[in-house]
Structure 1
Amino acid sequence: MSGTAIDFEGVRLTSPDKVLYPEQGVTKLALAEYYRAVAPAMLPHVADRPITLVRCPAGQEKTCFYQRHAGSGVSDSLGQVVVPGFEEPYLYLRDAAGLFALVQMGVLEIHPWGARRDRPDRPDRVVFDFDPGEGVTFADVVAAALDMRARLGRLGLVGVCKTSGGKGLHLVVPIERRHDYPEVKAFAKAVSEQAAREMPERYLTRISKAERVGRILIDYLRNDPTSTAIAPYSTRARPKATVSTPLDWSEVTPGLDPACFTIETVPIRLQGLGDPWASVGDIRQRLPR
C-alpha cells in the first residue's frame, strides 16, 4: 500500500501507510483522519490566516524544516495570500481540505499568524508562552498561567489557555482588530516584564538558557508575524504525537498532564467534552491604554 495513492476527502494522499510517528506507529492516513476529526474545532483558529509550517516529509524522527512561503507546486486545496512587506506569498487554509493537503506535504506543525489575511497587520489575539527552564515542574507552569490570568483580569481582560504540545502552556487573549503588531507586542512585553520584575525568582523574559534554570520564560515574542505560536489542535514534530490542546480553566490545575493530549486521545476528548474554546470568537475586548 505504501506506493498507492488514495483519495481522502477529495485530496490525493500518497503513501498513506508511511509512518510519521515511529514510536506510536502513526501513519500519514491516521494523521489525516485526526485532522478530519478535529477540523470543526480547529479551523476557526487557523483558517484564513497566513501560516508557517514545520515539514517533516520522512517523519518526526527525521530532518524537519520550516516553510513560511508558498513556493511552487502547491495544492489547489490551499490558498495563497500576498502580505505587504513580504516578497513571496504565504499559504493559508480555507477549509478542512487544506489540512489534508498539509498532511500530504508532511507537515507536522501548523503555526498561524495572530491576524487574518484580510487585515494581516491587525492581530486579533495576544499570546503569552510559558516555557519552563530546567528544574521547573509542570505544576509551576500551571501556577504561572493562573498568575497571568489574574494579572490580565485586573486589566479587564479575559484569556483562554491551551497546552503547547510540549512542556509549556499558552495563554491567549482574544482582542478586537484595533491594534497593530507593534502595539500588541509592546503590551505583551510590558505585562511580562512587570511580572518578571515583581517575581524575578520565578519569571524572566530574556531568552537565555543560562538564566532559565529554575525559572519560567514568559515569551512575549510570539506576537509577531515571523514568530508565531503553534495552532490549537495542531500536532507537534516531537515524540509521543502530542497535540496543542485547548483547555477549560477548571482543568488548569497542578495535576494537569500535557502528555495526555495526543492524536489518539484528543478526538475522543472532543466527542465527550466538546471544545473548551467554542465561544472564543464571541469575546469582544480591546487592550487598555
Structure 2
Amino acid sequence: MSPVLVRYPGVASAWERDAGIAQVAQIARTADTLGFHHLTCSEHVAVPVPIAAERGSTYWDPLATFGYLAAVTEQIRLVTQVLVLGYHHPLAIAKRYGTLDRVSGGRLVLGLGVGSLQQEFDLLGVPFADRGARADEALAALRASLGTARPVFHGSYYDFADVVVEPHALQPHVPFWIGGRTLRSLRRAVRSGDGWVPFGLSTDELSAMLRRVELPAGFQVVVSTGRPLDPGADPDGVRHALDRAAAAGATVVGVSIAARSAAHYCEQLGALRALHRDEETQ
C-alpha cells in the first residue's frame, strides 16, 4: 500500500506529510527491486471538508502519479485502488489508462469501484442513485474497449461504435480488481473482474462471504492487513497478520508499513521481503 499518495487518518506516518514524488519514487524503486507485486494509488477528486477528517484529504491523481512511477520502475504492477467508475466515461478510462499500460510495458491493474461518497458525485454532476447499474455496464463497456483500437459497445448508458482509440492497452486483458465490502461487490467482481479488493471487513466476515461464492481459477482476493506493520521490530506480529489474511482467503496481501522516513520505509520493505524469504524456505 503506497505511502504518501493517500493519507488516511490514523494510518499515515508523520513523515509522509512533507514527502514528495522523490520519496515516493525511492520507495517504488526499492519495492520494484525487491520483487513486490504492486504499488497502489487511489482516487478522490474533491473530498468535502466534513468528511476529510474520516477519509483523509490527500489523494494523488493515479494517472499522473503512475505515469511518473512507470518511468522509474521496471516490473512492479501499478494498481488503481480504486477508480470510481461513475466519474469517467469508459472510453476515457480506456484511452488514458490504456496509454499508461503501454507506457509501463503492460503493468496496469485497474482497481475499480462503484463509489459511495454522494457529496462527491453531486459535486461532479454524476448520478448517484443508479450508480450500481451504471458501474455494471461501465465494466462491460470498458472490457470491450481496452486492448483494441476499434471498440464497440451498445448499452443503455454507453453506446459507441465506428471510433478509434489509439494508443490502446498493451495487455490484451487488463486485470480488473473490483473494490467493495458487500456480497454484491464480490459477485460483481466474480462476474466482471479478475479480483476483489474488500475493505472494512473482519477476517471472519471475509471468510464467510468468500464461502458463499465459487471463485474462478486465478481469481485474486486482495486483502489489506489494516494497521501499519513493523517488520523490523515486530516480525512475529507481521507473520501473524499475513497468516491471518491468508487464512481468511487472501491471495494477495496489501501491507501498510510503519516507518520514520522514506529511507526507513525502504529498510522496512527489505525486512518484510526477508521475512517472506524465510517463510518460502520453511
Normalised-by-shorter TM-score class:
0.3 to 0.5
Comparing both structures, which one devotes a greater share of its residues to helix? 2
TM-score, normalization: structure 1? 0.32
Give the number of the structure with larger relative contact order, counting CA–CA contacts within 8 Å between residues 6 or more apart: 1
